[in-house]
Structure 1
Amino acid sequence: MTAPEATAAATEKTKPAASWREGLAVYLQPRVLIVLMLGFSSGLPLALSGSTLLVWMSESGVDLGTIGLFALVGTPYTLKFLWAPLVDALHVPFFTRAFGRRRGWLVFSQLLLIGAILLLAVTDPARSPLFVALGALLVATMSSTQDIVVDAFRVESLPESEQAAGMASYVAAYRIGMLVSTAGALFIVSGFEGSGYPRGAAWMWGYVVMAALVLIGTVTALVATEPKQSARAEAATQADSALMRVFHAALGAFFDFLRRKEAWAALAFVVLFKFTDAFSGNMTVPFVIDIGFTRNDYAVIVKGVGVVATLLGGFAGGYVARRYSLATSLWIGGVVQAISNLSFAWLALVGVNEWALAVAISSDNFCNAIGTVIFVAYLSALCQNPLHTATQYALLTALAAVARTYLSSSAGYVAKATGWPMFFAISVLVAIPSLVLLAWLQRRKHFGELGPVRV
């Protein structure tokens, strides 16, 4: 341990524990509250082109084959890194001049998102599924663009002392936004139907209400202040042409990262850290149905105690990230999210018991939320240059999606070959490669080199 590290460690040991009032005060800081509201705005539109839309299509009599193809409208969320350099580099006429580099893009993307949701609202799944698909694709594209800007704004606007609280608030609000656009949207549609509206009109007005809720994010962007780091980056590139700024954002985000020590090990760690969560998560619903629970049993528990556990886990993750070093926090998050999979192995042995299902879902959601908040904190720490924060963060999140999308695709075959208890035990073991990489990176002092955002 170097002298500075020893001094920091000694200071950490002698530092008194923060009281709950001090902890709460951090969450009430204006910048953290801004990030919380933007988290809600980011989580809101996700289901409107996904699960909620599929319910609308099912009720409209669209055949299952067509409904299955609608999974493809989520493609912009995985490819958003392709246009993230445009967000980093280009100015939006009027908006950038009026609100600034990040806030201008925020307001612009949110207004386009509102327009896309309203366009989707007036389509008819029964008569024109193609137009529904185009509307949903526009919603997903505008939503993912908003995500690009919000991620960059969050990383650049929060000082180091507020990053942990900001991560926890963002993740919790994102989940609430998703809940509003799933269960909330369905309740609103049912309310319109109960008031005498035809089913098609009820769905249209339900989506109109969702479009109006995006204005929460727009008002937040207008109230917020432009991050100082972003303003300095804007001034530093003012003399460059638009093409040159795009070029630097696209290539700079990649090569700036590769100049780090142990860059390739860090990239592998980004891919593998949430693998244990993705591997088991892909099979949670088939497992619950297979052992004898109904869809309603699962839905009620996931939308009830599961959501509460996720919110509590998010704030617990924020506490861990604030209380401990980044490396220690990653150890805690990595271990608890892996061990939580054993709750499903226990459920497989217990059988059909609603209390056991509630315990398993709650412990899994709580622990995975802790891991997610700490992982987001790590990704944010990797994006240190505001010249290409949006591009770099989009690239890293795309890499993180590799485990969820591709590596976990074999989970069904493993479950079929081993049975449920052994499958969930194996899902714990698949966390070992990421923990080995974590130990390697910690030994190579990778985390000590991650500092605050800089130009």
Structure 2
Amino acid sequence: MAQARRLSLRDVLTDKRIGLMLPLGFSSGLPFLLVFSTLSAWLREAGISRTEIGMLSWVALAYSFKFLWAPIVDRYDVPALSRLLGRRRGWMALSQLMTAAGLIGIASSNPQTNLSLTIVSALLVAFASATQDVVIDGWRIDAASTERQGMMAASLQLGYRLALICAGAGALYIAEFVNWRSAYLAMAALMGIGLVGTLLAPRLDEGAARTRVPFVQAIIEPLSDLFQRKGMMLVPILALIACFRLPDFVAGVMANPLYIDLGFSKADIANVSKLYGVWIGIIGAFAGGLALTRLGLWWTLLIGAFIAASSNLMFAWLALEGARLELLILSISIDNFASGFAGSALIAYMSGLTSPGFAAAQYALLSSLYALPGKLIGGASGAVVDAYGYPLLFTATASIGIPLVILCLVVRRDTMKTVEERRIEEPESSPAVGAGSRA
């Protein structure tokens, strides 16, 4: 079998498409925290109850259901915009403008007097942002050959992480020294970075007609293929994926309210959680990738499942001890490293479950599944805190690690078999396309 051509440094530095993934990745990552943890900090400071904050986190369900309207984005043009920019870039521009409009709507709202406007605007941001994720992944796959997809994805992730710093630490800094309205208006303006990337992106050849498969068939066929290949083993596999990041998602909704209630300033939260913590998460992700090459997929999956869940015990300890900055730093360090490590393991595992004929569709479905339970249950996390307190919530989420370890043991043989089969079929395999999207 012919060996895939290696990319030289000159190839990377001169490839406009790889460079363009930086602004597109930035645009993809910016909105997420603005309708999740950053918004929950504003709402808690405004006196909104923790129960309502937890329920509001359900707006992020748009990221879990984006596969339902992905066929529309893939097969239909945006009126006017697609004629000017092409199908992919037309959808990119529309979703970016809608996201900016939603952020302006949040900035214009007052949660204390007009919470409904905040909710509607957050829904618009989540829906438009999820649509943007779909179309950016589609453009990336169309724009470059397989051997370049690894660098495309790496550039995307770098832009995404930089955006997390802006939407987390940056927004909190502005809110601390100016106000929340200015913070969200600044974030809306930063969506212009993605729009510039869209306008600079090459217009792809979209003249060929696309096969218009009925939406139900487009969803059913990938699932049928999974059932045919995995049989009843698919049940524990899907249970493992659905529960793998559950502790992270549930605890994440109440993390910022915990910091606010303990008395940490927004500057402390920004410095430790949103700035320092992001880089610790990147280190954890690279550590997970290194473990995959040294220990293998199953051991990395098992370790990731255990440490990601058990790290929530640090927040239970923090809740009991109070506003101790050194303990906040330790908690964020352990939690973000574990989360990054576990994320790399899960991305690799889900990618290995796909088959060549349905790789993109199956990965979209699996990535939607892993986020859905956490977001549904996370909406009730505020009610748990109101009734029983923070320590019980974080201890309960840590205990999810026990069934996760059991599920890892159940799928061990299938995981080993899958890895061996792919090693035989793809001795010169390249990184899975689309594996780095919001995991």
Q: Which residue of 1 aligns with 2:240?
A: 272
What is the alpha-carbon distance in structure 1 between the residues aligned to residue 109 and residue 378 of structure 2?
Answer: 35
CA contact (8 A) 1:73 1:136 kept: yes
Q: C-alpha displacement at 1:329, in angstroms?
A: 5.5
Matching of residue 220 in structure 1 with residue 197 in structure 2 = yes
Q: C-alpha displacement at 1:118, in angstroms?
A: 2.2
Deviates more, 1:60-69 or 1:395-404: 60-69
What is the alpha-carbon distance in structure 2 between the residues aligned to residue 126 and residue 418 of structure 1?
Answer: 26
Letter in 1 for 2:184: Y
Q: Which residue of 2 aligns with 1:396?
A: 366
What is the alpha-carbon distance in structure 2 between the residues aligned to residue 69 and residue 171 of structure 1?
Answer: 29
Q: C-alpha displacement at 1:174, in angstroms?
A: 2.7
Q: Which residue of 1 aligns with 2:437?
A: none
1:127–1:430 distance in 2 versus 1, CA, 3 Å: closer
Higher Rg of the two aligned structures? 1
What is the alpha-carbon distance in structure 2 between the residues aligned to residue 443 and residue 106 of structure 1?
Answer: 39
CA contact (8 A) 2:306 2:405 kept: no
Matching of residue 365 in structure 1 with residue 336 in structure 2 = yes
The superposition leaves residues 302-338 of structure 1 with CA deviations (integer Å, 9 ceiling, x where unpaired) of 33442221122334456677x68xxx75335413413
Say which of 202, 224, 229 aligns to 1:258: 224
Give the TM-score of the pair, scaled to structure 1: 0.70
Give the TM-score of the pair, scaled to structure 2: 0.72
1:162–1:142 distance in 2 versus 1, CA, 3 Å: same
Q: Which residue of 1 aligns with 2:180?
A: 203
Aligned residues: 409
Partner of 2:64: helix, strand, or coil?
A: helix
CA contact (8 A) 2:300 2:345 kept: yes
What is the alpha-carbon distance in structure 2 between the residues aligned to residue 62 and residue 159 of structure 1?
Answer: 49
Within-5 A mapping of 1:40-189: 40-62=26-48, 66-189=52-175
Letter in 2 for 1:296: F
Within-5 A mapping of 1:245-324: 245=212, 247=214, 249-259=215-225, 262-263=229-230, 265=233, 269=237, 271-273=239-241, 275-279=243-247, 282-283=250-251, 294=262, 296=264, 299=269, 301-317=272-288
Partner of 1:296: helix, strand, or coil?
A: coil
Q: Which residue of 2 aligns with 1:197?
A: none
% same residue: 29
Say which of 410, 413, 417 aligns to 1:439: 413
Deviates more, 1:129-138 or 1:395-404: 395-404
Partner of 2:339: helix, strand, or coil?
A: helix
What is the alpha-carbon distance in structure 2 between the residues aligned to residue 418 and residue 236 of structure 1?
Answer: 52
Partner of 2:31: helix, strand, or coil?
A: coil
1:52–1:393 distance in 2 versus 1, CA, 3 Å: same
CA contact (8 A) 1:276 1:431 kept: no
Q: Which residue of 2 aligns with 1:427?
A: 401
What is the alpha-carbon distance in structure 2 between the residues aligned to residue 24 and residue 365 of structure 1?
Answer: 34
The superposition leaves residues 39-67 of structure 1 with CA deviations (integer Å, 9 ceiling, x where unpaired) of 22122112323333344444545566654
Letter in 1 for 2:81: F
Say which of 13, 21, 24 aligns to 1:35: 21
What 5-or-longer segments of structure 1 have no aligned partner? 13-17, 194-201
Q: C-alpha displacement at 1:150, in angstroms?
A: 2.3
What is the alpha-carbon distance in structure 2 between the residues aligned to residue 441 and residue 305 of structure 1?
Answer: 34
Q: C-alpha displacement at 1:99, in angstroms?
A: 2.8
Q: Which residue of 1 aligns with 2:302?
A: 335
Letter in 2 for 1:258: S
What is the alpha-carbon distance in structure 1 between the residues aligned to residue 117 and residue 394 of structure 2?
Answer: 43
What 5-or-longer segments of structure 2 have no aligned partner? 434-439
